[in-house]
Chain A
Amino acid sequence: MTATIPEQGGATAPTVSLATKGLTKSFGGVRAVDGADVTFHKGKINALIGPNGSGKTTFFNCVTGMIKPDSGRVTLDGRDITSKPPHRIAAAGIGRSFQLCRIFPRMTVLENMLVGVRSTSVLHRLGSSRNAGDIAKARELLRRVGIDHLEQSEARDISYGQQKLLELAGVLMVDPETIMLDEPAGGVNPALIGRIGTLVRELNAEGRTFVIVEHNMDMVMSLSDHVVVFDRGRPIAEGPPSLVQNDPRVLEAYLGV
């Protein structure tokens, strides 16, 4: 499947998954995110693009609770998740990857996977992490991303590309309904970009919503259903990729005309 689904509004208006209203965050005197109103569509692959320094990563971090916004609201399926700590946001169903890929370097690949096991009771937390159920789930996901043969290696010993796959698999362990990826194609070769793209599509087909921050325009244009363009801390355009691509405001932001 290569064609993107054109969304023309009207009767089939998309459901809102993640949304922000007036989100603002400044560092010193600089407003990194400046009153951003953004909506992402449920069950779709959403992309967030914009020139360097346009506040995408700060926005991302505000939404996932890594940074507390100065003002504004973040909602997930209508529920307010503003300024909740990251682990609560994870529990609410948002999984995220990090720019430049972060894994637990001195734990094995399998142990890396087991971190994301959800617990609800103290008793469950005290249970063995090496139990058949969790391990089977972890292996299944590792197999799915194609690095199950490395499960006993320490994560720092596998290649960067494999670490990216491990990070994605680790996020899937939490079973998030919404997955936010920060530059999934950053620093990886074309073959692997293709593989990650395929994975994203498959996971999306299973009903997971994606929000992807990305610089690789080919990937964004071929993969996403809905694109939000950021500039100076707020969205300047949004819509299906084909529309956004030809928006003069977007060209201006990118080319600095």
Chain B
Amino acid sequence: MSGSLLLQTLILGVLLGGLYALLAAGLTLYFGVMRVVMIAHSAFLILAAYLAWFFHQQTGLDPLLSLAVTVPLFFVVGYLMQRGLISRLRPATLTMMSVLLTFAIALAIEGMLGFLFTGTQRRIQLGYSGSSIEFFGARIAVVKLIAFGLAAAALVALFLLLKMTRFGQALRATIQHPEAARLLGVNTDRIAGFGFGLGLATAAIGGTALALDSTIYPSLHWHWIGPLMAIIVVGGLGSIPGAAAAALLLGVTQSLLQLPLGTTWAQTVFYVALFATLLVRPQGFFGGRLAQRF
């Protein structure tokens, strides 16, 4: 195996890991504020990708511009979903019932996409779709770099929002200790809604990034939810830096394993990591105090 191929694979792994990290951050937010495993996250991801594709199809403009619509839209949808649906479930069975509810939403989204756009595979063709950059003999497609840049920028923005703003402080307080946050005057219900909105906004950004260089079809979300859930478990449910670290690690591992094993078998690395984590260290490898009893 040539060095440049290895380097190329490594870079591709990092680029993929960036997208995983962004999406896993979204999943972590939901879990943090509500202890909810949001199965529909990846369905919204594919929905956003379809919206980007549709936008490009109709207007001929760059799909990145669709973000101006999808990000606020998804934020509102996420907020409404938390306030109107998730928060109405009985606390005693919240974990299980919220999984079912978000699963049902995922099915409905998949069905709607299939109904509206048929099961045909779709792909955005852009002027720069075919171009790539050479880097020490490794060829990296421009669209992948753009997708990674988008994901990285969104992650940095999310990080700054959580660390620097009052809202971020309230959100972190809600995640770490809801009762204490309430005592300090934080409206944890509203904050939980915003947390959901933020989470869904990451799906909007991720979906657009995905649409740039991938073929999309309605049932694609099942290929994403498995790896994403594995990532948040390995990272330690509820820890955003943990999720990001696990995402990069697993993304790179997957890429590297593709060389000897092929694409399909390489994907099993997520599941192997998931089972191994639960057997050896159920609270995850990168933080995650929240996970202890879930």
Instruction: Tell me, rounded to whole Å, the shortest Cβ–Cβ distance linking B262 to chain A.
Output: 42
Q: A28, B289: Cβ atoms under 8 Å? A: yes
The answer, yes or no, to whether B68 is at the interface (CB within 8 Å) is no
Chain A residue contacts of B92, Cβ below 8 A: 105
Chain A residue contacts of B289, Cβ below 8 A: 27-28
Chain B residue contacts of A105, Cβ below 8 A: 92
Interface of chain B residues 86 through 102 with chain A (CB within 8 A): 92
- Taken together as a complex, chains A and B put the C-alpha atoms of A105 and B289 apart, in Å, by 28
Q: Is the interface of A mostly helix, strand, loop or mixed?
A: loop
Encode contact with A along B23-54: 1 for CB under 8 Å, 0 otherwise.
00000000000000000000000000000000
Encode contact with B along A14-28: 1 for CB under 8 Å, 0 otherwise.
000000000000011
Q: How many residues of A contact B (CB 8 A)?
A: 3
- Taken together as a complex, chains A and B put the C-alpha atoms of A28 and B176 apart, in Å, by 10
Closest residue of B by beta carbon distance from A66: B293
Encode contact with B along A157-182: 1 for CB under 8 Å, 0 otherwise.
00000000000000000000000000
Instruction: Tell me, rounded to whole Å, the shortest Cβ–Cβ distance linking B82 to chain A.
Output: 25
- Taken together as a complex, chains A and B put the C-alpha atoms of A28 and B92 apart, in Å, by 26
- Taken together as a complex, chains A and B put the C-alpha atoms of A27 and B283 apart, in Å, by 14
Instruction: Tell me, rounded to whole Å, the shortest Cβ–Cβ distance linking A166 to chain B.
Output: 17
Encode contact with A along B139-167: 1 for CB under 8 Å, 0 otherwise.
00000000000000000000000000000
Closest residue of A by beta carbon distance from B92: A105
Chain B residue contacts of A28, Cβ below 8 A: 289
Interface of chain A residues 61 through 119 with chain B (CB within 8 A): 105
Encode contact with B along A21-46: 1 for CB under 8 Å, 0 otherwise.
00000011000000000000000000
- Taken together as a complex, chains A and B put the C-alpha atoms of A28 and B289 apart, in Å, by 8
- Taken together as a complex, chains A and B put the C-alpha atoms of A28 and B177 apart, in Å, by 12
Interface of chain A residues 217 through 243 with chain B (CB within 8 A): none
Closest residue of B by beta carbon distance from A27: B289
Chain B residue contacts of A27, Cβ below 8 A: 289
Instruction: Tell me, rounded to whole Å, the shortest Cβ–Cβ distance linking A215 to chain B.
Output: 17
- Taken together as a complex, chains A and B put the C-alpha atoms of A28 and B292 apart, in Å, by 13
Closest residue of B by beta carbon distance from A156: B92
Instruction: Tell me, rounded to whole Å, the shortest Cβ–Cβ distance linking B178 to chain A.
Output: 15
Instruction: Tell me, rounded to whole Å, the shortest Cβ–Cβ distance linking B291 to chain A.
Output: 13
- Taken together as a complex, chains A and B put the C-alpha atoms of A27 and B177 apart, in Å, by 12
- Taken together as a complex, chains A and B put the C-alpha atoms of A196 and B289 apart, in Å, by 36
Instruction: Tell me, rounded to whole Å, the shortest Cβ–Cβ distance linking B20 to chain A.
Output: 27
Closest residue of B by beta carbon distance from A67: B292
Instruction: Tell me, rounded to whole Å, the shortest Cβ–Cβ distance linking A105 to chain B.
Output: 7
Encode contact with A along B269-294: 1 for CB under 8 Å, 0 otherwise.
00000000000000000000100000
- Taken together as a complex, chains A and B put the C-alpha atoms of A27 and B290 apart, in Å, by 11
Interface of chain A residues 106 through 138 with chain B (CB within 8 A): none
Q: Which residues of B contact A (CB under 8 A)?
A: 92, 289
Residue pairs across A and B with Cβ atoms less than 8 A apart, 3 shown, are A27-B289, A28-B289, A105-B92
The 3 closest A-B pairs by CB, nearest first: A28-B289, A27-B289, A105-B92
